[in-house]
Structure 1
Amino acid sequence: MIRKIYYLILLVSIMFTLTACGESVQKKIYGHLEETVALEKEFSEKQKELVDLEKKEQGIYEKIIDLSSDELDEIKALSKEANELIDQRIELIELENDSLQTAKEEFIKIHSLKDDLTDKALARSITQLYDKMIERYEAYDEIYKTYKESLDLEKQLYRMLVDEESTQEQLSKQIELLNEHYESIIKANKTFNKKTEEYNELKRRFYEDADLNVTYKDKN
């Protein structure tokens, strides 16, 4: 059985109050960081849709492997359904990536602002935060690249399943290649999740060190 896992952790959503007066450098940075969170909302929504489509396709795949070669017409019909789901996933992964890239463009605006911080401790803090987020984006880039490759491999697999000339050895090699990609995605997901948690902690610490009166409230 092929099992696809694609769970990503989004930045912590918060409701907040900010009492600092004036447009300080800290406050400008704060604005960009929270706008980044808002822009990642669509990213989170696309993740959920992708997981739903993956589950549907997994169900179709399980039906196919339960069929015999004599039931080729049904295999073809199910493979067509699976390919339609893959096409939807291709569209969603592009939308998800676009959403995250938009958020990234907002986030990197703090790069020039961090040089304006006169407090050396705060400057170090925001540099650590910035570097951690860039590592997070790099982890996502790996997920995106490998996930797209896996979609191409899945399409190839369904073509092979309806091809009467395909051998069991060829199918086994294709499934093995797919599983390698799934393992790479899982590994990249873990890295992404870890970087997200570390980033959130660094952001919280920066807010505290910068004396920004921010009240966190998880939207759960």
Structure 2
Amino acid sequence: MKLKHFGLILSITMVMFLAACGNNPAENMYTHMEKAVVLEEVFEQQQEPLIIAEKKEHELYEQIIKLGMSEYEEIVDLSQQAIAIVQERKQLMDKEKMSIEAGYEEFLKIEAEIEELKDEELKNFALQLKETMTNRFESYQVLYDEYDMALSLDEELYTMLQQEDLTIDELQEKIDEINEAYERVMEAKDVFNEYTEAYNEEKKEFYTLAELDITFVD
């Protein structure tokens, strides 16, 4: 489940220059917004391990469904391995969530700076930027909740697979429930990614409108 990061590579000279500033509200906003990017690096670092864990779990699931009940002990062993991976995915998501929350908390420090902006056009644009970022944060909370629910259903499935008296109907009902959960996850992921893209674009526009001399490398 690949999510989009809001980091942008900026010129080092601008970062160093602004670190020494404190009088310009737009520059102070820049400092908080780019510190938020750094705080979200942990979020970015969870993406590849999550994808790898999802792939490993899917491979175990494929192995399990090819086995018959005469191979019950192997089914139990593979199911327990799959549960361990589900729990690993949960830990990665929790790290991701903490990173998103830390970045948003830093971002919110721009509120005081927005009030200090004298240019009305710039101020209105800054308020729009804040709204987009808030929507992004809230959409992530929805995504996290949906993903967490899907993980719980995954764990329920692998626990069920260890029951010798499990019926085909019970199994199919749980699989249908899981498929529906992951459809909601994908929908929430798309919304989050859309807000991330919108925020990235608006942030660049804000820096340009504020006449901050920054070089962007996407």
1:170-214 Cα distance to aligned partner (Å, 9 max, x none): 111111111111001100111111111111111011000000000
1:95-126 Cα distance to aligned partner (Å, 9 max, x none): 11111111111011111211111100000111
With normalisation by structure 1, the TM-score equals 0.93
1:193 equivalent to 2:193? Answer yes
Matches of 2:89 and 2:211 in 1, distance apart?
Answer: 43
The list of structure 1 runs, each at least 4 consecutive aligned residues, that deviate by more than 6 angstroms after superposition, is none
- Taking the TM superposition and a 5 Å limit, the aligned residue runs for 1:94-133 are 94-133=94-133
Shift of 1:13: 2.8
| 3-state SS in 2 of match to 1:9 | coil
Matches of 1:113 and 1:48 in 2, distance apart?
Answer: 35
Matches of 2:109 and 2:179 in 1, distance apart?
Answer: 38
1:66-85 Cα distance to aligned partner (Å, 9 max, x none): 11111101101101110111
Pairwise CA RMSD: 1.3
Give the count of matched residue pairs: 213
Of 10, 15, 35, which residue of structure 2 is paired with 1:15? 10
Larger helix fraction of residues: 2
Shift of 1:91: 1.2
Name the residue aligned to 1:3. none
- Taking the TM superposition and a 5 Å limit, the aligned residue runs for 1:174-189 are 174-189=174-189
Name the residue aligned to 2:144. 144
Shift of 1:22: 4.3
* Cα contact 2:57–2:82 (8 A) shared by 1: yes
Shift of 1:32: 0.5
1:9-61 Cα distance to aligned partner (Å, 9 max, x none): 00133132326784210110000011111111110111221111010000000
1:82 equivalent to 2:82? Answer yes
Matches of 2:75 and 2:57 in 1, distance apart?
Answer: 13
| 3-state SS in 1 of match to 2:83 | helix
Name the residue aligned to 2:168. 168
Q: Percent of aligned pairs with the same residue?
A: 36
Matches of 1:211 and 1:101 in 2, distance apart?
Answer: 29
The structure, 1 or 2, with the larger RCO (C-alpha pairs under 8 Å, 6+ apart) is: 1
Any gaps of 5 or more consecutive residues in structure 2? none
